[in-house]
């Protein structure tokens, strides 16, 4: 499996990157490493390391002098920033990258940039802009006959549809995407399709179908060495357990996902998972703990400017009110303020909350 083989060579890769950044060889080679390692950094949880390499590469005169090299580095940097929910940085880098690639006339690269930019816009809450950008990219991919790009475009349009609450359209897009992903044997896209199909089934009130899709996503991602995908599937399986009333299993799965999200710095997913863990605390009779977690998450969402779909916002508002009612107004307010002051790291420590 390529990601695991590359992990065995990681120290050698780091030494080669350091040499290219220091001027021991042509500086532009650093950008070639950045492009080659982007998927590995993403799938195996080395996103912060990758972002630093991109920053170092973009600071090199040889890279800034080359529009092609600069565009490649900006694209990778933006994709990695998106993985950590840093949508402000992702949009900035992608918009500059798009300018460069349009000028260079590379249609395939333009389409890829548009597709990634659509997700950065969605994360920022610009749903219409995300959809328009993705449709433009998908049209180019189809004209060029680029099947992987088409699969990603369908997946992104499905994610936009889910954000809007248009689950029927999302299901149709995902069915087409899954067929294409399997045809081209792309396990990462297949795993994401199964994950989103699980979310659609969950929203439809069908936990059995949702669980089946999520378990398939977990297997596919594990086979592909996609640690981020495994964490996402584990988180959603925890949500299914919580919804079915199996609080002990929900805690175990959500805790596993939380640790992975923290390790990979997947900030949006971490906040969502922590809010689910607040619901676990409430189910176990610890409303004050739930309020503290909720306060810290609210502060983080405001600071990171992470948008939430209307459907998720309504659901969380109802849960927040349930926490408030269970704890009492004064206790809720005090715990909420404590969580905001502590931040994510301080508000949810296993030793502090005596987790099972």
CB-based contacts of 316, cutoff 8 Å, min separation 6: 275, 308
How many helices (H) and strands (E) in the chain? Answer: 20, 0
**What's the pLDDT score for residue 342?**
76
Residues 157 and 135: beta-carbon distance below 8 Å: yes
- Cα separation, 210 vs 328, in Å, equals 35
Residue 108, token pair as written in the block: 């395939």
Q: What is the pLDDT of residues 288-336, one digit of tens each?
A: 999 999 999 999 888 888 878 899 999 999 999 999 999 999 999 999 9
**What's the pLDDT score for residue 355?**
32
| Chain centre to alpha carbon of residue 318 | 25
| Chain centre to alpha carbon of residue 102 | 27
Residues 224 and 188: beta-carbon distance below 8 Å: yes
Residues of the chain with pLDDT under 70: 1-3, 343-356
- Cα separation, 265 vs 118, in Å, equals 21
Residues 214 and 191: beta-carbon distance below 8 Å: no
Residue 299, token pair as written in the block: 């502060």
**What's the pLDDT score for residue 267?**
87
In order of 71, 94, 177, 257, the CA distances from 214 in angstroms are 36, 31, 16, 14
Q: What is the pLDDT of residues 30-68, one digit of tens each?
A: 899 899 999 888 878 788 999 999 999 999 999 999 999
Residues 270 and 228: beta-carbon distance below 8 Å: no
CA within 13 Å, CB half, 285 = 0
**What's the pLDDT score for residue 5?**
76
Residue 28, token pair as written in the block: 């532009």
**What's the pLDDT score for residue 348?**
61
The 3-state DSSP class for residue 65 equals coil
Dihedral sign computed on CA atoms, order 283, 289, 294, 300: negative
- Cα separation, 185 vs 223, in Å, equals 12
Residue 151, token pair as written in the block: 């699969």
Residue with tokens 């969605």: 122
**What's the pLDDT score for residue 107?**
96
CB-based contacts of 36, cutoff 8 Å, min separation 6: none
């Amino acid at each position: 499996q390529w990601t695991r083989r590359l992990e065995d060579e990681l120290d050698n890769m780091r030494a080669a990157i350091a040499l290219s950044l220091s001027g021991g060889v042509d500086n532009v080679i650093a950008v070639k490493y950045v492009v080659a390692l982007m998927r590995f950094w993403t799938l195996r949880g080395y996103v912060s390391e990758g972002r630093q390499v991109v920053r170092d590469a973009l600071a090199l005169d040889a890279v800034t002098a080359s529009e092609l090299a600069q565009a490649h580095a900006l694209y990778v940097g933006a994709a990695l920033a998106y993985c950590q929910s840093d949508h402000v940085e992702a949009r900035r880098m992608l918009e500059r990258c798009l300018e460069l690639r349009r000028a260079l006339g590379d249609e395939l690269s333009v389409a890829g940039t548009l597709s990634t930019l659509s997700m950065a816009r969605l994360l920022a809450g610009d749903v219409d802009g995300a959809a328009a950008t993705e449709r433009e990219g998908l049209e180019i991919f189809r004209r060029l006959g680029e099947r992987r790009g088409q699969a990603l475009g369908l997946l992104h349009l499905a994610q936009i549809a889910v954000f809007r609450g248009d689950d029927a359209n999302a299901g149709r897009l995902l069915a087409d995407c899954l067929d294409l992903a399997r045809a081209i044997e792309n396990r990462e896209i297949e795993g994401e399709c199964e994950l989103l199909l699980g979310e659609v089934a969950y929203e439809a009130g069908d936990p059995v179908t949702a669980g089946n899709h999520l378990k398939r996503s977990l297997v596919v991602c594990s086979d592909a060495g996609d640690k981020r995908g495994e964490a996402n599937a584990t988180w959603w399986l925890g949500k299914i357990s919580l919804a079915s009333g199996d609080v002990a299993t929900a805690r175990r799965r959500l805790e596993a996902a939380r640790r992975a999200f923290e390790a990979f710095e997947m900030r949006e997913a971490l906040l969502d998972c922590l809010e689910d863990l607040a619901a676990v605390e409430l189910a176990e009779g610890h409303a004050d703990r739930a309020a503290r977690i909720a306060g810290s998450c609210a502060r983080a969402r405001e600071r990171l400017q992470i948008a939430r779909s209307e459907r998720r916002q309504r659901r969380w508002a109802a849960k927040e009110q349930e926490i408030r009612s269970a704890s009492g107004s004064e206790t809720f307010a005090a715990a909420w303020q404590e969580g905001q002051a502590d931040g994510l790291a301080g508000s949810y420590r296993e030793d502090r909350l005596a987790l099972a």
